[in-house]
Chain A
């Protein structure tokens, strides 16, 4: 009796989820699978985007001739400028002040080879407006703009680049309070980047 009930239950469930019907054609299955992969990839991208546009990242991915500071993304003090290679100018280079590590006693942040991202990797417009998810995605995946990085190289950049790592351990401000962190941990950031890359680095269609 119990076995009979279980068989009935299984058949009912199978009917609901369509197991008893014929499988869809291979082409339809493939299209469905591709759609799922893309949807998952786009979802992962949105999380990547949430980190890229956090002040710890975008302050050095500016569209301006200078870096920015703080969560309000104001202009870097002392009128620091970008310089020809994104590393400042002769007597006022990024490394004039920013050393290999955070200086907790002074609030001066530091990591290896402190510099600005190139203008081709800007995540904002000249009016300080953050670029849309689609715009950032297109720039990030354009190898003519991203230092010729493919998906694997982008993943490596997010996983290992010292300045990326710094964003997740930005230490203290000059007043001793902690700098705010991106919305994901570094491990989560790498994982969603991996998912996005494995999905083929899909970008949103809209602007």
Chain B
């Protein structure tokens, strides 16, 4: 077991875990931040997406020992983030969610996309969101919500 100091949503946290523990399980089990979901555990579905050092990252494949001094941002911080707020508002407005399990990962990827490309095309959305799977197939509503959030942010 090792002790790690990491910053999650701007707050310093200290955890004592095995170095190979995935960041996902540090968030969910050690810090009790369960907004980030476990989907596949092999970086194939996107449900566990967080922002690590500003990059959308699958937290299920990042050992906590590799986090270093990169800040971790999770779905819990999106309500206070201007882009995150806009995306969540449009998610509600367009009733994107069906079962909802994948949606925190979808939103984290959508926010990452909009922060890099404020006016994404359909192709930008398809390419950036391609790693986030939704068994309910809410893809068309996700795409519309991202475009709508882009419009809201522009105005």
Contact = CB atoms under 8 A, between A and B. Distances in A.
Interface of A: 77-81, 83, 89-93, 95-97, 99-101, 103, 105-108, 174
Contacts of A78: 44, 130-131
A191 to B, nearest CB: 33
Given A81-B127, A96-B55, A97-B43, A91 B112 contact: yes
Interface residues of B, number: 30
Interface of B: 20, 41-44, 49, 55-58, 60-63, 66, 109-110, 112-113, 115-117, 124, 126-132
Contacts of A83: 127
B55 A95 contact: yes
B130 A95 contact: no
A91 B83 CA distance: 14
B19 to A, nearest CB: 11
Contacts of B110: 91
A99 B23 CA distance: 12
Nearest to B120: A90
Contact of A92 (B44, B56, B62): B56
Contacts of A77: 44
B118 to A, nearest CB: 11
B55 A106 contact: no
Given A91-B49, A107-B42, 19 more contacts: A77-B44, A78-B131, A83-B127, A90-B124, A91-B56, A91-B109, A91-B112, A91-B129, A91-B131, A92-B56, A92-B109, A92-B128, A92-B129, A96-B56, A96-B57, A97-B58, A99-B62, A106-B41, A174-B42
Contacts of A95: 55, 57
Contact of A100 (B66, B112, B116, B126): B66
Contacts of A80: 130-131
Nearest to A174: B42
A106 B61 contact: yes
A90 B126 CA distance: 11
12 contacts: A81-B130, A90-B112, A90-B113, A91-B132, A92-B127, A97-B61, A99-B62, A101-B66, A103-B61, A103-B63, A108-B42, A174-B42
Nearest to A110: B61
A90 B58 contact: no
B130 A92 contact: yes
A115 to B, nearest CB: 13
Given A90-B116, A91-B109, A174-B42, A99 B63 contact: yes
Given A90-B115, A93-B55, A97-B58, A108 B43 contact: yes
B142 to A, nearest CB: 12
Most chain B CB neighbours (cut-off 10 Å) among A95, A97, A105: A97
Contacts of A99: 61-63, 66
Nearest to B115: A90
A37 B94 CA distance: 70
Top 4 closest pairs, chain A to chain B, by CB: A90-B116, A91-B109, A91-B128, A97-B43
B4 to A, nearest CB: 15
A136 B57 CA distance: 34
A93 B56 CA distance: 8
A96 B56 CA distance: 6
